[in-house]
Amino acid sequence: MLSWTFWFVVTSHNHECPHDKLTKQFLVRAHLEDSYKSTKNTIAALVGQNEPFNQPIRINLHYNFTFLGATLFILNLIIIICVKATTSEGLTIMGQVKENLELILTVRRTPGPLRLRRYCVNNERNFTLTGPTEPCPNRCSNESVICTVFPVPSEHLQRCVECNGDSSNCVEAYSDGPGIEADLALYVYGINVNCGRSTIAFAAACQLEDQYDRPISGIINFCPSNINDDEQVFQVAKHEVFHVLGFSNNLYPWYRDENGNPRTSRDANGNPPTDANGRYVAAETTVKVVNLTDWQTRFGPVNKTIIQLVTPKVVEIARRHFNCNTLEGVQLEDQGSSGTAGSHWEKRLLNYEAMTGVISQNLAFSNFSYALLEDSGWYKVNYSNASRLVWGRGDGCGYVAGSCGGYIDSKKRQNQPIAPFCDFFTDNEFNPQNLSCNIDRTAVAFCSLVDNYLYVTSFVSIPQEYQYFNSGANFDSSPTRLPFYGGRVQAADFCPYYLDLFRRAPRGICRKGIPL
């Protein structure tokens, strides 16, 4: 343990990702121009062969920061996001994200130009249609919007035919706009709507092309009052664009296999099955519900239901990373709202991975998230660009298949280190003691085991399935206190681990072999 004291405030620098603050029913499938323009491609389509991935993805950025009015916060946001150069090449933050992703992803070439679908309207409300080429039964919407409410240029929209209640007398209300030459149209906004205290941005896919169901448009909204750090904003922006590209429980039902065939069965209109709430549901070959029967708590083993992504490339990467050849899938986050749960990796297992629901320090866009995009069937991925993930590497099947409490107990019985977790109580976050190095040895850190009564002021204890400790080296083991002891990060299943201090240790101190 490091023995000296650091006299400064501890902070976690977390971004809590709500992902899609919008309703789940807005996804629209748009029919693009015929992509089979050669005899060779026509024959390939007729015999069911897959089109080649021959186009580095082209992302078109369109900014709109003023549709709800301008403020000083928004002016600052404009400077940070799309004016201020953050690289020697003069790229802005969103320019960096665009360039980075265009080097990573290859797609089947989008028939150009790209045009998005216009909404229909009935009783003054916008709505979407089941099929991608249907005319509007009543009227075409006169609003140029996507994702229900976000304005886009009318020049980016397709023609729209309306029938005014008479299907035998339909007429063209709007003609095709010129469109854009791109594979993904990404619309960037900056409004304080659906912006929580810890939310820097949120994003969602809005429209899919109807041949392979790949997302072709999406929105990303930055919360102006929460923007202050360029590097953090870049990481958050890339995280949010990954949601648009495919990392979303709204998109799993639309995934394709390596041959371009749907992973989930489709109806006559090309849509996946729905649940009782009308939401599309992915097949168990993509997302699977699993019941863990040996989830260890301080009360003994209990059952816990989890959701896993079980697509082939993700499983291959996970087995190699965790050193667990029997692993059947990678757990998705089960904490938080519908925009967090199911659309991120489980933070307990992959803490530093950039696509967990609470983004903190030492982010790694790793092979896990790259594999997910490839398993969508929409992209080929350049894995050489992936970051190395240290968290959980080589920790075995016991680490993946159970609670952190069970893992800690098992390691203690074997007299082995319990990393990446810890069990030392921190009673003073302004002057934490017993410091150590974090798991990848980039910073001095403190154990996040705390009395959660300080955070849960309603006297509600931690859920029993996340109560792991009956005793500890330096905390009160009385029955009245034990129900509140756990890690301070709820998304990590209340598992305690080492959190970085606000400032790093003296240069190189954690690189010199000091024990964790």
Q: Is residue 198 part of a domain?
A: no
Q: Please tell me the predicted confidence (pLDDT) of residue 177.
A: 94
Stated pTM of the model: 0.89
Q: Is residue 258 part of a domain?
A: no
For residue 17, the one-letter residue type is C
Evaluate the CA torsion angle 186, 190, 192, 198 in order and state its sign. positive
Say if residue 243 is exposed, middle or buried (CB neighbours under 10 Å; 0-12, 13-18, 19+): buried
For residue 193, give every residue at least 6 positions away whose Cβ sits within 8 Å of its Cβ, in sequence order, or none: 21, 68, 221
Q: Is residue 408 part of a domain?
A: yes
Number of domains in the chain: 1
Q: Please tell me the predicted confidence (pLDDT) of residue 431.
A: 66
Q: Please tell me the predicted confidence (pLDDT) of residue 507.
A: 54
**Of residues 16, 240, 346, 374, which has the active-site annotation?**
240
Q: Please tell me the predicted confidence (pLDDT) of residue 436.
A: 82
- CA torsion 287→289→295→297, rounded to 10°? 100
- CA torsion 132→137→138→140, rounded to 10°? 10
Q: Is residue 472 part of a domain?
A: yes
Regions of the chain where pLDDT drops below 70: 1-26, 34-50, 66-91, 130, 228-231, 338, 361, 427-433, 453-459, 473, 502-508, 511-516
Q: Please tell me the predicted confidence (pLDDT) of residue 36.
A: 36
Q: Please tell me the predicted confidence (pLDDT) of residue 512.
A: 60
The reply, when asked if residue 13 is annotated as ligand binding, is: no
Q: Please tell me the predicted confidence (pLDDT) of residue 322.
A: 97
Distance between CA 420 and CA 351 in Å, rounded?
Answer: 10
Q: Please tell me the predicted confidence (pLDDT) of residue 359.
A: 78
Strands in 444-447's sheet, in edge-to-edge order, are: 436-437, 444-447, 498-500
Q: Please tell me the predicted confidence (pLDDT) of residue 45.
A: 41
Q: Is residue 415 part of a domain?
A: yes
Count of Cβ atoms closer than 10 Å to residue 286 Cβ: 24
Write out the residue range of the structural domain in which residue 485 sits: 402-511
Q: Is residue 414 part of a domain?
A: yes
Active-site annotation holds for 240? yes
What are the backbone dihedrals phi and psi of residue 410, each rounded to the nearest 5 degrees, phi first? -65, -45
Distance between CA 104 and CA 379 in Å, rounded?
Answer: 9
Q: Please tell me the predicted confidence (pLDDT) of residue 407.
A: 96
Q: Is residue 93 part of a domain?
A: no
Q: Is residue 363 part of a domain?
A: no
What are the backbone dihedrals phi and psi of residue 179, each rounded to the nearest 5 degrees, phi first? 75, -170
Pairing of strands 15-16, 150-151: unpaired
Among the listed residues 180, 209, 186, 40, the one whose alpha carbon sits nearest the alpha carbon of residue 112:
180
The reply, when asked if residue 239 is annotated as ligand binding, is: yes
